[in-house]
Amino acid sequence: MEEKTASAAVIVRFFALPLAACAPEKSWRYAVSFLSQRLNEVFGERVQCEFAELFTPESFQYLDVLELLKRDSQPPFVTVNGRLIQSGGKLSERLIKEELERLGLRRSR
């Protein structure tokens, strides 16, 4: 099972609050873009990163995220293949990498 996971694409999803009156380079979208690039440098294209702003029509298709909001969980949320690995605080590259390696992905560099 681990070998199959290692060869299939792994989806990392980031859910964060919409951009407020903030400089674009200080937004969640910018941070996710930067982190996505770093993950692709380390793991290659086996990792697919997606970003959704909370409370937008796109975000409402993820029922598990809506449940987290109902439970007073703090965004941003990060999921890997649908499994919540982070809630609240700053985005943790280390936590994401650890989860990707737990799923059997190997660093390409």
In a domain, 107, yes or no: no
pLDDT for residue 2 is more than 60 = no
In a domain, 109, yes or no: no
In a domain, 59, yes or no: yes
User: What pLDDT digit, counting tens, does each position of 31-56 carry?
Assistant: 999 999 999 999 998 999 999 999 88
User: What pLDDT digit, counting tens, does each position of 76-85 carry?
Assistant: 999 999 999 9
Give the whole-angstrom CA distance, residue 25 versus residue 34: 10
Instruction: State the CATH number of the domain containing residue 21.
Output: 3.40.30.30
In a domain, 26, yes or no: yes
User: What is the total count of domains within the chain?
Assistant: 1
Could you tell me which residues come within 8 angstroms of residue 44 by beta carbon, excluding any fewer than 6 positions away?
108
Q: Looking at per-residue confidence, does 26 or 34 come out higher?
A: 34
List the one residue out of 75, 74, 73, 78 whose CA is nearest residue 95. Answer: 78
Evaluate whether 56 touches 65 at the Cβ level (below 8 Å).
no
Evaluate whether 35 touches 93 at the Cβ level (below 8 Å).
yes
Identify the domain containing residue 60 by its residue range. 2-102
List the one residue out of 53, 52, 21, 49 whose CA is nearest residue 36. Answer: 49
